[in-house]
Structure 1
Amino acid sequence: MMMSLGPYASFIVTSYAAAALVVAILIGWIALDYRNQTQRLRELEESGITRRSGRSATDLR
């Protein structure tokens, strides 16, 4: 069943598309930051610095 959005259809569709794009960008940004932070932790552990929690960066996955 197709809904009629009336005269504001382009505004509604554009708004939903913009919101979806922002959410997708934020998800990608968080995923990249997670990988970067995990790599930093590995590098610090390899240099001899340990974490207070006692877990290693490889235990995070």
Structure 2
Amino acid sequence: MMPDLGKYAVYVLSSYAVSIALIVALVALSVARARKVKRDLDRIEERVKNG
């Protein structure tokens, strides 16, 4: 159910869209960074084991 936003509907809905997009981008960047850090740590751990 959509509330009646009147003349501000465009502004409210666009701000929701921008907020959701930013949250999705932050989550994606965080996941990518976590994978990179894990990969780097695995490489370091492998070097320590072998060397």
How would you bin the TM-score normalised by the shorter chain?
Answer: 0.7 to 0.9
- Once the two structures are superposed, what CA deviation does each residue of 1:25-61 show, in whole Å capped at 9, x if it has no partner? 0011111111100000001100117xxxxxxxxxxxx
Structure 1, unaligned stretches of length 5 or more?
Answer: 50-61
Deviant stretches of 4+, over 2 Å: none
TM norm structure 2: 0.73
* Aligned residue in 2 for 1:37: 34
- Larger RCO (CA within 8 A; separation ≥ 6): 1
RMSD of Structure 2 on Structure 1 (CA): 1.6
Residue 44 of structure 2 is aligned with which of 42, 47, 54? 47
* Aligned residue in 2 for 1:25: 22
Identical aligned pairs, as a percentage?
17
